[in-house]
Structure 1
Amino acid sequence: MSDALNTASAQPCESLAPFVESFWMMKNPTDLDEQVITFPDGGIDLYFFRNAEVPIHTSLVGLETHSQSAYMPKQSVLFGVRLKLLAAEFLLKQPVAELLNDRITLDRGFADISSSDLEDFPSFVEKLESYFLALLDERVDPRKRIMSDMIYETNGAITVSNIAEAANWSSRQINRYFNKWLGLPLKSYCDILRFRHSFDSLKEGELFPEDGFNDQSHYIKLIKKYSSLTPKQLAHDKSDRFIQLSSKK
């Protein structure tokens, strides 16, 4: 990602934290299209895009299992919301299983977001928070909440059996939930989160993280699976094209 792109992010309010990871913004104020590369990170994204030719375009992006290369058009802005796994059921109220490595266009006016809302990031966040809070009309099954909390607290470094025991929910039921709502089994989702968690060490030039992996060969295999690159290639790339590596905390 070029330094020409401006980015920002914001955390959700406490009530939305189990469902929303972050709100984010990217702007390309230049007169050149800028290449961006994204990696699988376990997020479901809502995109709100605007430029001179397109007043607003809204899309829903499912989970990704491989890297994606695209371009941020010149003089454009992209606001987004990265959703957690429970958001499919409790905020979107629809599975995203069929959107694995895919996306759909949403109707204009989704969440009552208009082109003018893409002029001010804090106002955008406030408006979407209000919209999402109004959708939380049912209690989350405690088993699902325990499952979600354990997955994110461990950055995916946990087994299905550990979650099943803690949540009092069978491994079969858990995987059925993941396949229905997200389009992949729990282990695959956890592997993506472990891959993502390695970004912090990669940014520091560390080629093997201290936790989350049993051995270096397993770590290298996972990195190559989701990025098509080796840890060394990722850590030493100086072009700053990689969104998550350059903008994640």
Structure 2
Amino acid sequence: MRAAVMFQVLAPCPSLTPYVDGYWFVQDLEGAYAGSDITTCPYPGAVLSVNFGRPNAMVGGPAVPTVSLLGLQSASRRWQSWSDTYFVMAMLSGAGLARLFPGVGPECKDQLLDLAGYLGDRASHALSADLSAAWMPARIVARLDAWLLRRLAALREPTALQSMRAAHALLREGRQVQEVASLMAVSRRQLNRWFAQQLGLGPKQLMELERLQHSIQALQRGTCAALDGYSDQAHQIRAWRRRMAQTPGTYARSGQSPLAVSFGQRPAGAPAFYL
């Protein structure tokens, strides 16, 4: 029987809610999942991670940096866990990535970025040391809130961020990309540029990832909304196969991983991350 592992989701302070969907804590100091492959799903946001214990590794790849930024993910990814694992993930919205790490989206799309190279070794180490000293989730959240708020105050908002957010809101209403460009009084090329410069992908691709994310959430929660946004079941199946190399039926039959089940208790509307 596996040892107890801590999985916890805590909310950011109100000033950060437009940018941070939540702080996710994973602790496996006794190594209950050591050696296990862990799969994460395509994700229409970014993840700022800080490791306090031994970092996990990408399957067939290097260990995760102590402080890292994972950009928008267009396909599922496989990781391997070890003992002495303990980390926090700040789940950033697209707007959060653009506001807190402006211009980095293209560099970290489908990539894991070592933030020591972006923030500088000294600043990255200081953040890691400060959060490690806090250790307990509630204290870590308070210090991470303070760090992100300082970035909000110090960084200039990207010029096109408000336009990108307005366009995103229209897309979420179900409007087509060309229609949104017309409503925003810009060319389709300009609309694509707003998203590509900050997120590393265009608005159509972002909405595809959001639709898939909604489908995964619905399937994990056992609701009837897994087809929402798709024209029919064949459309949904094609999207799952392209992004996750499996169908919804295969996933439903094989069952969720223990990590996905544990995070199934996350707040309503919180994203799915583990498959």
Q: Secondary structure at the match of 2:94?
A: coil
Look up the match of 2:273: none
Q: Does 1:132 align with 2:148?
A: yes
Determine which of 96, 112, 117 is the counterpart of 1:103. 112
Amino acid at match of 1:96: G
Q: Between 171-180 and 25-34, report the one with greater CA deviation.
A: 25-34
How far residue 135 of structure 1 moved from its aligned partner, in angstroms, is 2.4
Distance 1:186 1:244 in 2: 31
Q: Which residue of 2 aligns with 1:182?
A: 199
The within-5 A match list for 1:35-50 is 35-50=37-52
Deviates more, 1:96-105 or 1:216-225: 96-105
Is 1:223 the equivalent of 2:263? Answer: no
Letter in 1 for 2:166: I
Q: Match for residue 87 of structure 1?
A: 96
CA distance in 1: counterparts of 2:103 and 2:97, whole angstroms: 6
2:62 alignment counterpart: none
Q: Deviations over 1:2-26 (max 9, x none)?
A: 8854211123333222222221111
Unaligned 5+ runs, structure 1: none
Matches within 5 A, 1:108-187: 108=121, 109-110=123-124, 112-114=127-129, 116-117=132-133, 119-137=135-153, 138=156, 142-150=162-170, 157-187=174-204
| 1:216 to 1:52, Cα distance in 2 relative to 1, 3 A | closer
CA distance in 1, matches of 2:17, 2:24: 15
- Give the share of equivalent positions with the same residue, in percent: 22
| Deviation of 1:29 (Å) | 3.0
Match of 2:271 in 1: none
User: Aligned equivalents of 1:103 and 1:41: distance in 2?
Assistant: 13
The correspondence for 2:73, drawn from 42, 56, 64, is 64
- Contact 1:207 1:235 (8 Å CA) reproduced: no
Counterpart position of 1:27: 27
Please list every run of 5 or more consecutive structure 2 residues that lacks an aligned counterpart in the other structure. Answer: 57-64, 269-275
Q: Classify the secondary structure of the residue corresponding to 2:25.
A: strand
SS at match of 1:98: helix
Task: Determine if the alignment matches structure 1 residue 10 to structure 2 residue 27.
Answer: no
Aligned letter for 1:146?
A
* Structure 1 residues 25 and 176, CA gap change in structure 2 (3 angstroms): same
Q: Which digits, 9 at most, give the CA deviation of each residue in 1:166-220, with x for residues without a partner? A: 5444432221122222221111111011001012321245687352111111111
Q: Verify the 8 A CA contact 1:38 1:243 in the aligned structure 2.
A: no
CA distance in 1, matches of 2:79, 2:234: 30
Decide whether aligned partners of structure 1 residues 40 and 118 sit closer, same or farther in structure 2, where only a CA change above 3 A counts: farther
* Contact kept in structure 2, 1:223 and 1:230, CA below 8 Å: yes
Code of the residue aligned with 1:145 in structure 2: it is R
Q: TM-score, normalised by structure 1?
A: 0.83
User: For 1:118 and 1:139, how far apart are their aligned partners in 2?
Assistant: 30
1:200 corresponds, among 217, 234, 244, to 217
- Give me the whole-angstrom Cα distance separating, in 2, the residues matched to 1:142 and 1:192: 21
Secondary structure, counterpart of 1:213 in structure 2: coil
TM-score (normalised: structure 2)? 0.76
> Secondary structure at the residue paired with 1:198?
helix
Bigger mean CA deviation after superposition, 43-52 or 167-176 = 167-176
Shift of 1:117: 4.2
Moved more, 190-199 or 20-29: 20-29
CA distance in 2, matches of 1:158, 1:3: 48
Cα distance in 2 between the residues matched to 1:162 and 1:3:
53
